[in-house]
């Protein structure tokens, strides 16, 4: 579909500005070190990687533009230390804290309001051209150094502990820790999974 220069372009710009505001708001909520939106705008490598990815992902839909998409991803990795394949699908209000060493594979899918810490890998275990990377539901948090490998599904509101290795599905609301990761559900119905996560000493190993 052609974009009208008088109607479509301003609409796309407004949508982009709205998305940036959403991402900045998400960063302010999730990062206690964030002092202002202006500081985050110019200094958050994780957000810069996400924004560059959104451009690359839009280009990835056109096979003729895929080399350009890969080039943008390469430049993004060089600037931010975050490697996101242009084919990966990222939801709204996604945030990568610190960012360095994060790798997100081609067929990975990340839901809305998710958060990854540094050195997280959403990787594959197959050499075939199939769905080979994880799918994360909404509001998932993945701790530093964790690896989620293969076409596994991590349900909504699940929490993955630091340095865990996830190779099997994790149900919604569960806390997964260890190598290989095992999961448990919060002990109390009203217990927040994120709070419960930090009561498990295994996440610090």
Q: How confident is the model at residue 33 (pLDDT cuts 50, 70, 90)?
A: confident
Q: Give the pLDDT confidence score for residue 145 in this predicted structure.
A: 95
Q: Give the pLDDT confidence score for residue 37 in this predicted structure.
A: 87
Q: Give the pLDDT confidence score for residue 172 in this predicted structure.
A: 95
Residue that has been written with the tokens 């990340």 in this structure = 110
Average pLDDT, the chain: 88
Q: Name the 3-class secondary structure at 75.
A: helix
For 66-109, write each residue's pLDDT tens digit.
999 999 999 999 999 999 999 999 999 999 998 899 999 999 99
For 157-179, write each residue's pLDDT tens digit.
999 999 999 999 999 999 999 99
pTM score of the predicted model: 0.84
DSSP string, the chain: -PPPTTTHHHHHHHHHHHHHHHHHHHHHHH-TT---HHHHHHH-HHHHHHHHHHHHHHHHTSGGGHHHHHHHHHHHHHHHS-EE-TT-EE-TT-EESS-TT-EE-TT-EE-TT-EE-TT-EEE----SSS--S-EE-TT-EE-TT-EEESS-EE-TT-EE-TT-EE-S-B-TT-EEETTTTEEE--SSTT--HHHHHTT-GGGG-
Superfamily of domain 8-204: Hexapeptide repeat proteins (2.160.10.10)
Position 204 pLDDT exceeds 60:
no
Position 12 pLDDT exceeds 80:
no
């Amino acid at each position: 579909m052609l974009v009208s220069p008088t109607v479509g372009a301003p609409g796309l710009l407004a949508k982009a500005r709205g998305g940036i505001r959403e991402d900045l708001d998400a960063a302010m909520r999730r990062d206690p070190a964030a002092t202002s939106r202006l500081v985050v705008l110019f200094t958050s490598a994780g957000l810069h990687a996400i924004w560059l990815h959104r451009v690359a992902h839009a280009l990835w839909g056109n096979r003729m533009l895929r080399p350009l998409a890969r080039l943008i991803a390469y430049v993004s990795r060089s600037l931010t230390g975050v490697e996101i394949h242009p084919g990966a699908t990222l939801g709204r209000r996604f945030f990568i804290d610190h960012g360095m060493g994060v790798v997100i594979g081609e067929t990975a899918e990340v839901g809305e309001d998710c958060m990854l810490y540094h050195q997280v890998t959403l990787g594959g275990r197959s050499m075939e051209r199939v769905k080979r990377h994880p799918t994360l539901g909404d509001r998932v948090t993945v701790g530093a150094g964790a690896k989620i490998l293969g076409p596994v599904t991590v349900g909504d509101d699940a929490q993955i502990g630091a340095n865990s290795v996830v190779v099997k599905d994790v149900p919604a609301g569960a806390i997964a820790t260890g190598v290989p990761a095992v999961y448990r559900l919060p002990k109390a119905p009203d217990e927040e999974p994120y709070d419960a996560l930090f009561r498990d000493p295994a996440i610090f190993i």
